[in-house]
């Protein structure tokens, strides 16, 4: 399916990723229509139309779908019931990708079945399960909700059994993971077209603070570079197994024994924001190309050194001062209220010499 200019692409979700997707859709000559519940939907100002309705509003979903020649998403927590209410032949990526990514246990099992190596883990549905998991896997570890949660939310670091006492009752399905000793964290970001063609961007080294991505850096360093090919091979298997279309991100730990899978995101990704200025074709442009059935663009990195930094909370208030620095590219997302831990924008610094 190839969309002609003037066709409409629907975007589920109204955040900054949707905003940047809609901007690229416009560059390609497409209308973009968004759908998300009421909130700070920063994608709305750059969309041709925007539905501010609850995910359970079936008439609104039907009206949204009636406008769309293809439908994509900007975050992985779109309810599966929404995907079921939309025409499957117009959904990119497919429902299966969300089904896997929305459950951390299912995600790890899916990757393990393909030969990948996730962190040691166990399902936790009760207090007794948690105690058993900590005894079996050991401490320290991390307890995570199986669904929802991002940027450190829905996670509890447990150093020993005494920390488990602070968690309280297990009120929703969870997973306990043993800590992985690693040298670096990195992303494999790929795009897969409707014809099955796959292209990879260079992998950045990702630096986190308090569970939130602080910076992505290229080159990623020797250890990451030695492990990228193995991580790419697994990522290709995941994309092919899901019959994926669009940009897919898998995050890994670089360890002395090779890459360990952390998690996947069936969407464009924060650690790929550097591609806007730093790659021949950005992740946003290639995602929209894939959704529209167009040829994929080359993904070569076009600068020897890059650093993407997130602007968190009040950091965005003085962001314009950064424009006085050479080769700095600023993106503010238009969010109304800055608060601790909230991504308000990002800046990419390019070193060309």
Q: What is residue 128's predicted lDDT score, i.e. its pLDDT?
A: 86
List, for residues 63-121, the tens digit of each pLDDT value: 999 999 999 999 999 999 999 999 999 999 999 999 999 999 999 999 999 999 999 99
Contact between residue 118 and residue 260 where contact means Cβ atoms under 8 Å apart: yes
Q: Is 19 exposed, middle or buried (0-12, 13-18, 19+ CB in 10 A)?
A: buried
13 is in an annotated binding site: no
Q: Tell me how far apart the alpha carbons of residues 200 and 187 are, in angstroms, rounded to a whole number.
A: 11
Q: What is residue 164's predicted lDDT score, i.e. its pLDDT?
A: 75
Q: What is residue 98's predicted lDDT score, i.e. its pLDDT?
A: 97
178 is in an annotated binding site: yes
150 is in an annotated binding site: yes
Kindly report the average pLDDT of the chain as a whole number.
94
Q: If DSSP codes are grouped into helix, strand and coil, which group holds residue 205?
A: strand
Question: Which domains are assigned to the chain?
Answer: 8-91 (3.40.50.20), 120-178 (3.30.1490.20), 184-351 (3.30.470.20)
Q: What is residue 168's predicted lDDT score, i.e. its pLDDT?
A: 62
Q: What is residue 127's predicted lDDT score, i.e. its pLDDT?
A: 84
Q: Which pTM does this prediction carry?
A: 0.94
Q: What is residue 103's predicted lDDT score, i.e. its pLDDT?
A: 95
180 is in an annotated binding site: yes
Long-range own/partner contacts, residues 294-299 (CB < 8 A, 24 or more apart): 294/2, 294/3, 294/28, 295/193, 296/191, 296/193, 296/197, 296/199, 297/199, 298/199, 299/191, 299/199, 299/200, 299/201, 299/202, 299/275
Q: What percent of the chain has pLDDT over 90?
A: 83
168 is in an annotated binding site: no
List, for residues 285-318, the tens digit of each pLDDT value: 999 999 999 999 999 999 999 999 999 999 999 9
DSSP one-letter code for 3: P
- Residue 337 main-chain phi, psi, to 5 deg: -135, 125
206 is in an annotated binding site: no
List, for residues 155-213, the tens digit of each pLDDT value: 888 888 777 776 766 778 899 999 999 999 999 999 999 999 999 999 999 999 988 99
The answer to whether the peptide bond before residue 26 is cis (omega within 30 degrees of 0) is no
Q: What is residue 279's predicted lDDT score, i.e. its pLDDT?
A: 98
64 is in an annotated binding site: no
Q: What is residue 155's predicted lDDT score, i.e. its pLDDT?
A: 81
């Amino acid at each position: 399916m190839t969309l002609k200019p003037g066709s409409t692409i629907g975007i589920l979700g109204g955040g900054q990723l949707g905003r940047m997707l809609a901007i690229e859709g416009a560059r390609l000559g497409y209308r973009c229509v968004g759908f998300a519940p009421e909130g700070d939907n920063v994608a709305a100002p750059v969309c041709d139309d925007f539905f501010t309705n609850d995910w359970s509003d079936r008439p609104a979903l039907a009206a949204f779908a009636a406008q769309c020649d293809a439908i994509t998403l900007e975050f992985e927590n779109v309810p599966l019931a929404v995907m079921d209410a939309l025409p499957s032949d117009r959904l990119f990526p497919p429902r299966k990708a969300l089904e896997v990514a929305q459950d951390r246990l299912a995600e790890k099992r899916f990757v393990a079945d393909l030969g990948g190596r996730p962190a040691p883990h166990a399902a936790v549905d009760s207090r007794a399960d948690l105690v058993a998991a900590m005894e079996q896997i050991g401490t320290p570890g991390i307890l995570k909700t199986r669904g929802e949660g991002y940027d450190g939310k829905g996670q509890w670091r447990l150093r020993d059994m005494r920390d488990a006492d602070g968690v309280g009752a297990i009120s929703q399905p969870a997973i306990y993971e043993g800590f992985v000793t690693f040298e670096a964290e990195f992303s494999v970001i790929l795009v897969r077209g409707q014809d099955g063609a796959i292209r990879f961007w260079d992998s950045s080294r990702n630096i986190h603070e308090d569970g939130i991505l602080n910076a992505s850096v290229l080159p990623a360093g020797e250890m990451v570079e030695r492990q990228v090919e193995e991580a790419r091979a697994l990522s290709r298997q995941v994309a092919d197994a899901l019959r994926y279309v669009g940009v897919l991100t898998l995050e890994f730990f670089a360890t002395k024994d090779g890459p360990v899978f952390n998690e996947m995101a069936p969407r464009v990704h924060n650690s790929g924001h550097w591609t806007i200025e730093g790659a021949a074709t950005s992740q946003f442009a290639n995602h929209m190309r894939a959704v529209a059935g167009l040829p994929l663009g080359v993904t070569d990195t076009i600068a020897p050194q890059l650093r993407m930094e997130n602007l968190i909370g009040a950091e965005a208030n003085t962001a314009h001062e950064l424009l006085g620095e050479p080769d700095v590219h600023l993106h503010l997302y238009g969010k109304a209220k800055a608060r601790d831990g909230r991504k308000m924008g990002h800046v990419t610094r390019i070193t060309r010499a």
